[in-house]
Each structure stands twice: as C-alpha cells, then as structure tokens.
Amino acid sequence: MTTVPSKLYADDVSLLMVLIDTNPFFWSTVKNTFTFSNFLSHVLPFLNSILLLNQLNQVVVIATGYNSCDYIYDSSLAAPNQRAESLLGKLEEFVTRDEELSQQNSIEGVWSSLLSGSLSMALCYIQKVFRSGPLHPQPRILCLHGSPDGPGQYVAIMNSIFSAQRSTVPIDSCVIGSQHSAFLQQASYITGGVYLKPQQLEGLFQYLSTVFAADLHCRSFLQLPKPVGVDFRASCFCHKNTIDMGYICSVCLSIFCKHHKKCSTCGSVFGQAQTNVASASDRKRKTTET
Amino acid sequence: MNNFEHREINNGEGKRYTREEEIEEDEEDEDEGNGRGLDAWERAYADERSWESLQEDESGLLRPIDNKTLYHAQYRRRLRSLSSTARAARIQKGLIRYLYVVIDLSRAAGEMDFRPSRMVVVAKQVEAFIREFFDQNPLSQIGLVTIKDGVAQCLTDLGGSPESHIKALMGKLECSGDSSIQNALDLVHDYLNQIPSYGHREVLILYSALSTCDPGDIMETIQKCKRSKVRCSVIGLSAELYICKHLCQETGGSYSVALDEPHLKELVLEHAPPPPAIAEFAIANLIKMGFPQRAAEGVISICSCHKEAKVGGGYTCPRCKARVCELPTECRICGLTLVSSPHLARSYHHLFPITPFDDVSHSRLSNSRQKRPITCFGCQLSLLNQVNMPSPCVVCPKCKQYFCLDCDIYIHESLHNCPGCDSFRQSMSSSRTEE
C-alpha cells in the first residue's frame, strides 16, 4: 500500500470489494437488451468514479464464477492509467479458465455461482487491511449478483455473514437477476448494508452511483432504499429445499422439512413423534411460575 | 472480539502493554482509598516487564521478539487438541442449554488478590461470558444466582436477553457472610427441574470461598443433581477444594482454579461453546418451528403480542399469519415456536467444522518452490518475506491452497469457511458431503 500522511486518512476513505457474477448460465438467460458487455460498461465507469471520488479510495474486484472465484483487479497494484485494460484482461483469463473447469464436470441441478467462496476471499482481504495498522480505509463489500441462490452454500454463506457482522463490514447487494435473493437479503439486513434490486437494468450506472457510491460516513445522512421485507426462510438439510416451517433437531439444531426417526447430522435418535410433549411441559412451566 | 484480540497480538507486545497500563490506571482510581499497592513508578517496572519483549539476535543487537509465529504455534496446538476431542465425541453437541451461573458473593469475594477485588473481576468476566454465550448458543437461556450470607438468591430467571442479566448483576455487587454450595445447588436444582426434556441443564459456579457452610448433607444434594442430570462445573478463585472436585466428577462437569485474571477469563470462556452432548443427559427430539419473514418497512399492522398497531418491522407467523414483533418467540395465536433462520445458523459452524490446515514444512518448500503460489489464496498477501525467501504458511488438506498464518487464524476462529474449498465447485461439493 502507498504510504500517505496520516491526516489524509479520514473516515470517508473507502475500500470497496466488488464481487461480480460471471456465471455464464445466468448471463445466457438475461434478455438481449442487457448483456454482460452492457453490464461491464455500467460497472467500469462506476469503479472509476469510486477511485476518483477520493484519491485514497481503493477498489478490489473478485469474479464469482460457476466453478471458481478469483481476484481480477486491485487498484493498489494496478497502474492507474490502465485500469480497464488490466481488469478486462484478467477477467477474460478468468472466464476462459472457469469455462475449462466446467467442461470437466457435468452440470447438475441449479446453476448458482460460488458466492460463498468470493465472500470468504473478500473477508480475508479485509482482515489484511485491518491488520495493516490503525489507519486503514473503511471496507465494504458490494455484491453484483444475478444467479439464483445455491441452497448447498447456505451454511458457508451464513458463516461469512456472521464474520462480516462481527468485524462490522457491511455487505451491500445489487441483484441484477429476475428473482430476489434470500441470501443477499439476509446478508444486507444482518450486516447493515443496502439491498437493492434495480427495476430497470438499463440505468444500472445511475443506481450504482446514487446508492452504492457514498462512503459509510455519508450514508447516515442519506435516505437509502428501505428493504422490501427480508426472506428469513431456511433451507432444510435433507433436500436443500427452502422452507418456512420445519422440524429442528434439539441436539444440533439441524433443519428438516419432514419428520425423521434419526438425525442425519448428529445421529441422535428422536423419542416422541411430535413436539406436543415439549410444548406441554413448556406451558406447565409457565403456569407454575405465575 | 476475536478480531480485536487478534490485531492486538499482531501489533506486538508494546501495544498490549499500553492496554494493560490503561487498566492499571482505572484501577488506581478505585483503590486509592485503600492506600495499597506499589507506587506508579515501581509498577511500571514490576508489571510491564518490558525486558521480556526483547531478545538478543545473533549479532548481539536487541530486537523485539517475533511473537507472531509464537502465537500462531500456540493457536495451532489449541486447535489440534480441540479438533481431536471433537472427533472423539462426534458432532453431538448440546446446543439448547439452560445454564445457571452461580456467583459467590460471600466475604471471600471481597479479597483483593485479584485487583480491585475478586467480585469485580468475576462480574467483568461473567459479563463477557454472557455475551459470548448467547452468540454461540442462540436458543439457550441463562439465569443468575448469587450466594451471600449463606443463602442462595435468584438474581435473574432463565432468559435469553444478555442485557437484562448484565444489568441485574452490575446492580448487586456487594459481598458479606459465608458461602453455601448446598443452598445454591438446591435452588438451581428446583428451577432446572422444570425445563423441557430436550434441554441441557447446566450450572457454572464461580467460587471464591475456601469452605462451604451448609444446612444439611451436601452429598445428598450432589446425588440429587446427578439424578436429575444437572451438569455442574466449578471455577475456583482461591485453591482447589475437595467438595468442588467431587461435585464436578459426580455430575460430569469440569473443575478448574484460576491463577490470575487472564487465566480466569480463559477458563470462563471455555464454557461458552456447547459441550459435547452426553446422550442420556437430554432426550433428543424434533421440535416444530416456523421461520417467519420480516415484513417491509412502513407497513402498518396490528401485532399479536402487544395488541397495538405498529408501523414497519415485525414478522409474520407462517402458520396463522399473525404478526409478532420480536424473535425468537412463541406465536400467541397458534403456539408455533418462531425463530429466524440466522439465529439457528449462528451455531452451524459447530456442526460443520473446517479441518485444521497443515503446516508447510521447510523441506517441502525448497522442493516445490517453483510450483508453489507466491501469494496467500485468501488475502493475496505475498508469501515471500523481504529477502525473497518463503515465509511460513499453511495449506488446506482438501483444496491444496496456501494461506498465510493470519488468514489461517481468521479462517478457523471467525470465518469458519475455507475460501479455497468454497471457491472450487468440485472441492466444495466433496467437502460438505463428507461431513
């Protein structure tokens, strides 16, 4: 990192970790009006404007692919006059590598991106910035995501969210797909970030620059979009379905969508068929106490 | 909290000592009235031990000790012992815990071998413990009991709100009289008998006194606790007591005696992660629960718990669509237990622990230097030091990615995900199914 006089590091210096969804399955489904290159032509000026807003701002871009994730741009390493070139070069390399990996194994089920991997990488990077000393830019994560949630990543994504919450790193999400993302809704809600699903993708740059460009200090003065409700449903461990009512193992808190005889996670055998016993004793307790 | 500790250690001894000094200053204000202890200038030498943070290098120059690698080695030893016990006990953990924390506020708690006094130190550690406990055991409950004048008193009932416990405790810090383990156990036993069968009953006693003054036969009480499967653990502040050891042995708890304040903190926080479930202690059960959705901000509706019209916030019961204000709770209309899924997910890293990373040995480094990556997979930190020699690093046994030592600690202590395994589809699917 460049050495700068300490007084320049005010609370409005940002480190923006941008996670870009490069899932080819997602980009092949979006309408012709908004292609991946269109998307990049909105994102690149946004990244440039972040870097111009404050000379100390830093931008790191991580590509979230179908088979892998990787860093594709770091403004503290790249030459300032070749931003777009170095980013696009790395991105192209990444996309071809990702494609090679997908030829090796067949595609099954939902085609979700590896959001948990890129989130974990971003958090590791942020920890490095925290370690660099008492003066560091304020980090935040921006997910530009379109692919549907992969229920198999539920535990990993939740772990990342709690770790981000503990180190007070907000996760902002901008959903460019047609569906709301329950994972990102929870991520933004828990970490105090902004969740936005733009109505018109043609104006993506405008959404990005008005909502996500302001640093954390300025945010408290802005009227940012309010969440339209958060989907707190969980996905069950047995079929990876998203459910709003289910059974919880009392030993390990695993979630199941229907009644089982034995917990597949911790191996405990369940006694009574229903919870009536438990809730009955619960109620008894309340009456005896009052 | 992890993160804070972590940074502190990386900044080296110097910083840590300045922090201790601040604490010292705080204490000074409190015990000024007692006219006790060393003078400030003496204390600077006695407590800071600044010479210990220096070592001589081969050319005879003084250099600060590189405690980062030392710390890392220590951390790895702890991780290895933890993972081996976890392996032995499978992944059955008692995640729904009902814990009473018993605090001894007898005359002995006023002793000043811990500064400013034992009870202040204990209260501080209990506060930290309560916060950590609810972070790690989302559906569990804590109650506080104090022993004073030979009588046990219930300070707070079992509950899930950390703030109310801490407030109650801080308001009641006075000590007097004798201490009685039997009275405390009898009281706690009566309360714990009423909890649902799937819950784990636990008592954690923070004991300052060197004796117990009981009205009856304490052995009977211990047997009674054993019969009702209450797991009793004791942390002593003075010296080992036979009766405490006996109590812990009989009921399956752990007994330890704190040497000093950091050790006490360590011992108390050891009780925060869920203990391995002992099959007969609680009956496993499936509990039906609902995961309500949070309504949009600005929607007006009448909540079922306060029977008032409220704007925004609030959750909708998935079974009867009633509105509740807070989670976790039980639906007032249909009786369904309502939790938010993030609440449960907080404890999942106990179920799916990530494997400890392997040290990269020096011989392997020199053999395979050409194909070894030069940056840490997690944070892109260069894995070469100033003279372009490989610095110590670790490798994930599953995805074969290299990580720096700082990332290793962060990944295992806070993140609980391996970035390498999670960012390759094949390795991810295999690692999660194995578990």
**pLDDT tens digits along A45-65:** 999 999 999 888 999 999 998
Q: Are residues A255 and A224 in the same domain?
A: no
- The Cα–Cα gap between B344 and A240 comes to 16
Predicted pLDDT of residue B84: 60
Rounded mean pLDDT of B57-85? 68
Hey, are the CB atoms on B284 and A160 less than 8 Å from each other? no
pLDDT at A80 over 90: no
- Per the structure, the complete domain to which residue A38 belongs is given by 14-232
Q: Are residues A156 and A202 in the same domain?
A: yes
Hey, are the CB atoms on A159 and B381 less than 8 Å from each other? no
CATH code for the domain of A60 = 3.40.50.410
Q: Are residues A245 and A285 in the same domain?
A: yes
Q: Are residues A246 and A141 in the same domain?
A: no
Query: Scanning every residue of chain B, which has its alpha carbon at the shortest distance from the alpha carbon of A69?
Result: B423
B416: which chain A residues are within 8 Å (Cβ-Cβ)? Answer: 159, 163
Domain edge (last residue) among A232, A264, A281:
A232
Predicted pLDDT of residue B281: 61
Q: Lowest-pLDDT range, A180-189, A253-262, B297-306, B405-414? A: B297-306
- Asked if A120 contacts A162 with a C-beta cutoff of 8 angstroms, the reply is no
Between B48 and B129, the higher pLDDT residue? B129
Query: Scanning every residue of chain B, which has its alpha carbon at the shortest distance from the alpha carbon of A162?
Result: B346
Question: Cα distance from A39 to chain B (closest Cα, Å)?
Answer: 23
Between B427 and B334, the higher pLDDT residue? B334
Predicted pLDDT of residue B17: 44
Hey, are the CB atoms on A229 and B296 less than 8 Å from each other? yes
Q: Are residues A182 and A223 in the same domain?
A: yes
Q: Are residues A249 and A190 in the same domain?
A: no
Q: Are residues A136 and A189 in the same domain?
A: yes
What average pLDDT does chain B have?
A: 77
CATH topology (fold) of B358-430: Herpes Virus-1 (3.30.40)
pLDDT at B230 over 70: yes
Looking at the domain assignment, is residue A34 inside a domain?
Answer: yes
Looking at the domain assignment, is residue A47 inside a domain?
Answer: yes
Looking at the domain assignment, is residue A2 inside a domain?
Answer: no
- Asked if A177 contacts A144 with a C-beta cutoff of 8 angstroms, the reply is no
Domain edge (last residue) among A195, A216, A232:
A232
Give the start-end residues of each E strand in B265-351.
286-290, 293-294, 300-302, 309-311, 315-316, 323-324, 329-330, 337-338
Hey, are the CB atoms on B417 and A281 less than 8 Å from each other? no
Q: Are residues A285 and A211 in the same domain?
A: no
Between A120 and A79, the higher pLDDT residue? A120
Question: Cα distance from B200 to chain A (closest Cα, Å)?
Answer: 9
Q: Which two tokens stand for residue B61?
A: 């120059």
Q: Which of A127, A251, A282 is nearest residue B196 as measured by Cβ atoms?
A: A282
Predicted pLDDT of residue B4: 44
Chosen from A252, A264, A269, A287 to mutate, greatest number of chain B CBs within 10 A: A252
Predicted pLDDT of residue B23: 43
pLDDT classification of B38: cutoffs 50, 70, 90: low
Stated length of chain A: 290
pLDDT classification of B42: cutoffs 50, 70, 90: low
Rounded mean pLDDT of B409-435? 72
Hey, are the CB atoms on B290 and A228 less than 8 Å from each other? no
Residue limits of CATH 3.40.50.410 in chain B? 91-281
Predicted pLDDT of residue B50: 66
Please give the interface size between A and B, counted as residue pairs whose CB atoms are below 8 Å apart: 257
pLDDT at A128 over 50: yes
Looking at the domain assignment, is residue A271 inside a domain?
Answer: yes
Q: Lowest-pLDDT range, A104-113, A186-195, B339-348, B419-428? A: A104-113
Looking at the domain assignment, is residue A4 inside a domain?
Answer: no
Question: Cα distance from B306 to chain A (closest Cα, Å)?
Answer: 19
DSSP annotation of B354? P
- Asked if A172 contacts A142 with a C-beta cutoff of 8 angstroms, the reply is yes
Hey, are the CB atoms on A234 and B297 less than 8 Å from each other? no
B8: which chain A residues are within 8 Å (Cβ-Cβ)? Answer: none
- Asked if A198 contacts B35 with a C-beta cutoff of 8 angstroms, the reply is no
Looking at the domain assignment, is residue A170 inside a domain?
Answer: yes
Predicted pLDDT of residue A9: 66
Rounded mean pLDDT of A103-123? 80
* Assigned superfamily of B91-281: von Willebrand factor, type A domain (3.40.50.410)
B293: which chain A residues are within 8 Å (Cβ-Cβ)? Answer: 229-233, 244
Hey, are the CB atoms on B344 and A70 less than 8 Å from each other? no
Rounded mean pLDDT of B307-318? 80
pLDDT at B200 over 60: yes
Q: Which of A74, A267, A279 is nearest residue B92 as measured by Cβ atoms?
A: A267
Q: Are residues A174 and A264 in the same domain?
A: no
Q: Are residues A139 and A279 in the same domain?
A: no
Hey, are the CB atoms on B415 and A153 less than 8 Å from each other? no
Predicted pLDDT of residue B247: 93
Q: Which of B350, B381, B422 is nearest residue A114 as measured by Cβ atoms?
A: B422
A168: which chain B residues are within 8 Å (Cβ-Cβ)? Answer: none
DSSP annotation of B107? G
Hey, are the CB atoms on A120 and B419 less than 8 Å from each other? yes
B10: which chain A residues are within 8 Å (Cβ-Cβ)? Answer: 131
Residues paired with A139 in a beta bridge:
A15
A243: which chain B residues are within 8 Å (Cβ-Cβ)? Answer: 291
pLDDT at A7 over 60: no
Rounded mean pLDDT of B210-230? 91
- The Cα–Cα gap between A117 and B425 comes to 10
- The Cα–Cα gap between B152 and A253 comes to 33
Hey, are the CB atoms on A190 and B319 less than 8 Å from each other? no
B426: which chain A residues are within 8 Å (Cβ-Cβ)? Answer: 67, 105
Q: Are residues A88 and A210 in the same domain?
A: yes
Alpha helices in B203-319 (DSSP H): 218-227, 242-251, 261-269
| R_g of chain A computed on alpha carbons | 22
pLDDT in tens, A205-223: 999 999 999 888 888 888 8
Q: Are residues A217 and A108 in the same domain?
A: yes
Highest mean pLDDT among A239-248, B37-46, B380-389: A239-248
Which DSSP string corresponds to B57-100?
-TTS-EEE--HHHHHHHHHHHHHHHHHHHHHHTTT-B--SEEEE
Domain edge (last residue) among A194, A214, A232:
A232
What percent of chain B has pLDDT above 90?
19
Q: What is the pTM of this model?
A: 0.74
A132: which chain B residues are within 8 Å (Cβ-Cβ)? Answer: none
Predicted pLDDT of residue B399: 86
pLDDT in tens, B148-164: 998 999 998 887 778 88
DSSP annotation of A167? T
Query: Scanning every residue of chain A, which has its alpha carbon at the shortest distance from the alpha carbon of B320?
Result: A245
What percent of chain B has pLDDT above 70?
73
Hey, are the CB atoms on B290 and A244 less than 8 Å from each other? yes
Chosen from A17, A126, A253 to mutate, greatest number of chain B CBs within 10 A: A253
Predicted pLDDT of residue B86: 55
Hey, are the CB atoms on A270 and B285 less than 8 Å from each other? yes
pLDDT at B55 over 80: no
Predicted pLDDT of residue B243: 93
pLDDT classification of B363: cutoffs 50, 70, 90: low
Q: Which two tokens stand for residue B88?
A: 């032995």
Residue limits of CATH 3.30.40.10 in chain B? 358-430
- The Cα–Cα gap between B159 and B162 comes to 8
A256: which chain B residues are within 8 Å (Cβ-Cβ)? Answer: 286
pLDDT at B202 over 60: yes
Rounded mean pLDDT of B266-292? 78
A278: which chain B residues are within 8 Å (Cβ-Cβ)? Answer: 196-198, 285, 287
pLDDT at B128 over 60: yes
